[in-house]
Amino acid sequence: MAEKEIEIKVSNLSVGFHLHGQESHVIRNVSMDIYKGETFAIVGESGSGKSVFTKTFTGMLEQNGFISNGSIIFEGRDLAKIRTNKEWISIRGRKIATIFQDPMTSLNPLLRIGYQLSETLKLHGNQLQKMHDELVSKELVALRLAEEDYYQELKAIAQEQQNAIKNLKKENPGIKNNDSKIKEIKLVAKQKCNEAKEKLNKVRPQLKADYKASNKAATEKVREFKNNVLAEMRKEMSEAKANGASRKELIDIKEKHKRRLKVTNRQAKAEAIELLRKVKIPNPEQRYRDFPFQYSGGMRQRVVIAIALACKPKVLICDEPTTALDVTVQTQILQLIKDLKKEYEFTTIFITHDLGVVASVSDRVAVMYGGQIIEYGTVEDIFYQPAHPYTWALLSSLPQLANDGDELIYIKGNPPSFGKEIVGDAFAPRSDYAMKIDFIKEPPMFKISDTHYAKTWLLDPRAPKVKKPKLIRNMEEKIHNTMNSMQQKVGEADATRK
Ligand SMILES: Nc1ncnc2c1ncn2[C@@H]1O[C@H](COP(=O)(O)OP(=O)(O)OP(=O)(O)O)[C@@H](O)[C@H]1O
Ligand SMILES: [Mg+2]
């Protein structure tokens, strides 16, 4: 890959859930850059945190979930700081779209496929709104960030006060709440809050004024644009009328210009049919009128992809999109995503259990375990030179890699429970390669090459040299065979369709 531009920069992200009055920490201090235009795969056992991690990119954590630390920078905004659904609307679906394992997650069973698709096109086709949003986004984000910083500071001060009082009570059992020492702590906290407020007040009026000014200028610009389009339309129509144009010709002129402002019904329908054709739904003109129940599972997933593409997102998150489909359909859908990616140039984040899928679609791979990325690298790094015992175990359990007579290795034991604190390397209790230190201290991310990193003490220079499991040696040949057979399946699937 040439010079890499970052699409999403995740730093020190931690995510927790409130459950039965307790907090569990499900994503634990994850940092990762996702590059523009790449296909980034996330693999790992069930419960390792793949979905929760990517749900934070679109504000889809469940009600009891919260980001406890870290940032997710996308287009200069910190997604980790977004609190309201109103703000998410400009990102979720429009800029970062997600498709899930079950297409019905994204479809309404009561509405015709065509209607769902064309409504989406109309919803996202308001050119004037888009123009306005883009013109004010910089000032709006600056204002939001300043206010967010202030709230974060208040939170920290409150936490500090709480801890100080707790410690004091521990040292002096029986101390009363109206004791002068406690009063003093509260007073200091109050002062700090005032200082934080003052700091905000110093910048907020200017930021607010900037935002108001840019909002006004944007409104003006958008109005001007709209008036221009309408004026051009009227002029062209009256000229056409004078030349004796037919009713249909006049409507065409109208549509052409209104295009520039919003998506009309007629246009939405034409675009929807075109999109259905793009995702390879046969007879799109007829299928447009069908309901989801009249589609097969694979076709529903194609429709969901079409709906996701309707907004021309910059990032497409695919969370196990083919797991529920049979193998032939699975390869077709993978091929479809690959083809569309070439045309639309979106960045893809691909979540899957299936390492065979990973090998065939992705540029880079991250392996998740116990709420952390424990190894990442290019596909070649991960498949040919895996470094973490968990990645070894994962690869060893790949049925596609076994030759006749090879015994598949299943990963023994269970993934860690997030309820209690995880000490050391989360995989240590299940690992044949665990050393003493693995149970005591969390390993850092060791750099193996410019592209390849792994979080295991085995990479420490002091660690003994160990041999990888036999099954995953000479991986190149095995992967090659797997890929060939997948390619072959795609070819066969295409042939049967035609
Ligand atoms: N709303 C919630 N409340 C409490 N815990 C949750 C919640 N949502 C997810 N979790 C926990 O977070 C952990 C990670 O879940 P996540 O859905 O990200 O796993 P995953 O890697 O996507 O697994 P799968 O492959 O099964 O989809 C799991 O232990 C899960 O139980
Ligand atoms: Mg999941």
- pLDDT tens, residue by residue, 143-165: 877 887 787 788 889 989 999 99
Taking CA atoms, 179 is separated from 182, 191, 275, in Å, by: 5, 18, 70
Total of domains in the chain? 2
pLDDT in tens, 195-234: 999 999 999 999 999 999 999 999 999 999 999 999 999 9
pLDDT in tens, 354-377: 887 888 889 999 999 999 999 999
Quote the DSSP letter at residue 47: T
Rounded (5°) CA angle 459-460-464: 80
pLDDT of residue 76 exceeding 80: no
Distance 33 CA to ligand 1 centre (A): 22
Distance 418 CA to ligand 1 centre (A): 10
Strand partners, 350: 41, 318
Atom of ligand 1 nearest to the CA of 49: 18
The answer to whether residue 184 is domain-embedded is yes
The answer to whether residue 273 is domain-embedded is no
Rounded CA-CA distance 331/348 in Å is 17
Q: Ligand 1 in contact with 211 (CB < 6 A)? A: no
Domain residues for the domain of 148 are: 140-257
Token pair for 60 = 């889809």
Q: Which ligand has the nearest atom to the CA of 27?
A: 1
Q: Ligand 1 in contact with 288 (CB < 6 A)? A: no
Contacts of 412 (CB under 8 A, 6+ apart): 430
Among the candidates 208, 232, 257, a domain finishes at 257
Give the torsion through C-alpha atoms of 135, 137, 138, 139, to 10 deg. Answer: 90
Distance 348 CA to ligand 1 centre (A): 21
The answer to whether residue 434 is domain-embedded is yes
Q: Ligand 1 in contact with 64 (CB < 6 A)? A: yes
Parallel/antiparallel/unpaired status of strands 453-454 and 372-378? antiparallel
The answer to whether residue 153 is domain-embedded is yes
Among the candidates 210, 228, 257, a domain finishes at 257
379, 358 contact by CB (below 8 A): yes
Atom of ligand 1 nearest to the CA of 418: 29
268, 125 contact by CB (below 8 A): yes
**pTM, 2 dp:** 0.79
pLDDT of residue 280 exceeding 60: yes
Q: How confident is the model at residue 272 (pLDDT cuts 50, 70, 90)?
A: very high
Rounded CA-CA distance 14/27 in Å is 5
Give the closest residue (by CA) to ligand 1 atom 3.
Answer: 17
Q: Ligand 1 in contact with 50 (CB < 6 A)? A: yes
Atom of ligand 1 nearest to the CA of 53: 18
pLDDT of residue 452 exceeding 80: yes
Q: Ligand 1 in contact with 424 (CB < 6 A)? A: no
> Which residue, 269, 301, 302, 305, is CA-closest to 285?
269
Among the candidates 198, 227, 257, a domain finishes at 257
Tell me the residue ranges of DSSP E strands in 279-343. Answer: 315-319
Q: Ligand 1 in contact with 51 (CB < 6 A)? A: yes
Give the torsion through C-alpha atoms of 205, 210, 216, 220, to 10 deg. Answer: 170
> Which residue, 157, 121, 404, is CA-closest to 270?
121
Distance 84 CA to ligand 2 centre (A): 24
Q: Ligand 1 in contact with 48 (CB < 6 A)? A: yes
Mean pLDDT check: name the lowest of 182-191, 250-259, 283-292, 479-488.
479-488
The answer to whether residue 492 is domain-embedded is yes
The answer to whether residue 442 is domain-embedded is yes
The answer to whether residue 157 is domain-embedded is yes
The answer to whether residue 416 is domain-embedded is yes
CA 277 to chain centre: 26
**Terminal alpha carbon distance of the chain:** 35
